[in-house]
Amino acid sequence: MRSPRIALLRFAAAFVFLASLAAPAAHAQMDPAGTVASKPLKTKPIWMKAQVIHVNHDSMVVREADHPMMVHTFTFSKKMTEAMEKVRADGGYQRGDVISIQHEKGKEEALAIRGKPNQNN
| Predicted confidence band of residue 24 (pLDDT cuts 50, 70, 90) | low
Tell me whether residue 39 is in a domain: no
Residues 24 and 75 in one domain: no
- DSSP bridge partners of 76: 110
In a domain, 121, yes or no: no
Same domain, 21 and 56: no
Q: Is residue 120 part of a domain?
A: no
Domain range for 8: 4-33
Which residues, 6+ apart, have CB-to-CB distance to 115 below 8 Å? 93, 97, 98, 99, 100
Identify whether 50 is part of a domain.
yes
Confidence bin at 84 (pLDDT 50/70/90):
very high
85 and 106 belong to one structural domain: yes
What's the whole-number mean pLDDT along residues 41-66? 93
Query: Is residue 29 over pLDDT 90?
Result: no
Instruction: Judge if 14 and 62 occupy the same domain.
Output: no
For residue 44, the Cα-to-chain-centroid distance in whole angstroms is: 13
Residue 96 confidence (pLDDT): 93
Neighbours of 29 (CB within 10 A): 7
Distance CA 28, CA 60 (A): 53
Cβ neighbors of 71 (< 8 A, separation 6 or more) are: 53, 61, 62, 63, 64
* Mean pLDDT of all residues in 12-39: 70
Cβ distance 90 to 119 under 8 Å? no
- What share of the chain has pLDDT > 90, as a percent? 54
Q: Give me the pLDDT at residue 41, please.
A: 79
Q: How many domains does the chain have?
A: 2
